[in-house]
Amino acid sequence: MKLDRRPRRLRELSVAKAMIRECSLHKEDFILPVFVSDHCETKEPIKSMPEVYRWPLDAIVSQIAQWKEIGLNAFALFPCVMPQKKCSKGKEAINPHSVSFEAAKKIKQQHQDTLLIADIALDPFTDHGHDGIIDSSGKVDNDLTVEILCKSAVIAAQSGFDIVAPSDMMDGRVGEIRKSLDKAGYEHVAILAYSAKFCSAYYGPFRDAISSSQIEPIDKSGYQLDPANHREALLELKLDEQEGADILMVKPAEPYLDIIKSAKENSSLPVAAYQVSGEYSRIWAASKLGWLELDKCAEESLLGIKRAGADLILTYFAERMIKKL
């Protein structure tokens, strides 16, 4: 054949191939989501998430030391509290002794240079499982919820978290949280906004992990984004940037690569992506059936997320991936 272009030429040259690789994964890309529990004695497996555990306070401090040894330095903490501490208003969110606040204090005492991200939302603490307070009509009351989130964010800052991450999708919360942090003297604490958080079916295993799943699957479509809407996601990203977010996040990640790409193109802020529990568990499930190769699929999914534009990636595969890099 007489061909003007033979793209395969370089592909056959392994040294050149490595040089022209457009994107690669580094250990600095990853943030590990970690579940801390106030009611387990030893690390407790989560059935729907292989190799992921709920950690009691003491165990998590020593586990962090092990993760740091392999080069994992950034963690997003998620609380799992006992049912007796849950109520309709999620009051545990503003208890300074609540488990994730205590965990942050302990971790920071031992590991000053660890990056800790606080999840700011009410769902781990509400008995109905919603991310906010329910009003008399049965809807989540935006402004009342934001007031509590602001208090919770200030307590997180006091406890030593470096970054607060509102994951609730209430309107105007980023701006209000910024004001509250500044007023309390925490200008240096950053906000990672769950800006484009979709109403996804992939959160199921996470809800098991924090025991917020109900008998009926919970409907968060009154605040989370419709999976069909790209332009509305752009609006959310823009608003959070205007309100003072330091990092914009898209969640879930792999089903929303187009949103990650747009976020990157339309903003100068760093873009984070959250590869959520269901994205993790589906790869695991298929590998357990012998249908997919776990590590290869994990790597490919993370590479896709990075290629789309994510600077930071929250993933339950963080430890596994770093060990393979």
Nearer to ligand PBG (CB atom), residue 56 or residue 129: 129
| 251 flagged as catalytic | yes
Count residues binding ligand PBG (CB under 6 A): 12
Q: How far apart (Å, rounded) are the C-alpha atoms in residues 292 and 202?
A: 19
DSSP-assigned letters across all residues of 236-275: HHHHHHHHT-SEEEEESSGGGHHHHHHHHHH-SS-EEEEE
Q: How far apart (Å, rounded) are the C-alpha atoms in residues 302 and 122?
A: 29
Binding pattern for the stretch 188-217 against ligand PBG, x by CB under 6 A and - elsewhere: ---------------x--xx----------
Nearer to ligand PBG (CB atom), residue 106 or residue 251: 251
Q: Does 272 bind ligand PBG (CB under 6 A)?
A: no
Q: How far is the CB of 282 from ligand PBG (least distance, A)?
A: 12
Q: How far is the CB of 275 from ligand PBG (least distance, A)?
A: 8
Q: Does 123 bind ligand PBG (CB under 6 A)?
A: yes
Q: From the candidates 86, 197, 264, 306, which is the catalytic residue?
A: 197
Per CB under 6 A, the list member of 80, 276, 305, 313 interacting with ligand PBG is 276
Q: How far apart (Å, rounded) are the C-alpha atoms in residues 168 and 160?
A: 21
Selected range binding ligand PBG among 40-48, 116-124, 150-158, 183-191, rule: CB under 6 A:
116-124
Q: How far is the CB of 139 from ligand PBG (least distance, A)?
A: 16
Q: Does 121 bind ligand PBG (CB under 6 A)?
A: yes
Inter-residue long-range contacts of 93-100, CB under 8 Å, 24+ positions, other chains counted = 93/121, 93/122, 93/124, 93/125, 93/148, 93/149, 93/151, 93/152, 94/148, 94/151, 94/152, 94/155, 96/155, 96/158, 96/159, 98/38, 98/125, 99/36, 99/37, 99/38, 99/57, 100/36, 100/156, 100/159
305: three-class secondary structure by DSSP: helix
Q: Does 167 bind ligand PBG (CB under 6 A)?
A: yes
Q: From the candidates 86, 220, 251, 306, which is the catalytic residue?
A: 251
Active site (catalytic) residues:
197, 251
The contact set with ligand PBG (CB under 6 A) reads 119, 121, 123, 131, 167-168, 203, 206-207, 220, 276-277
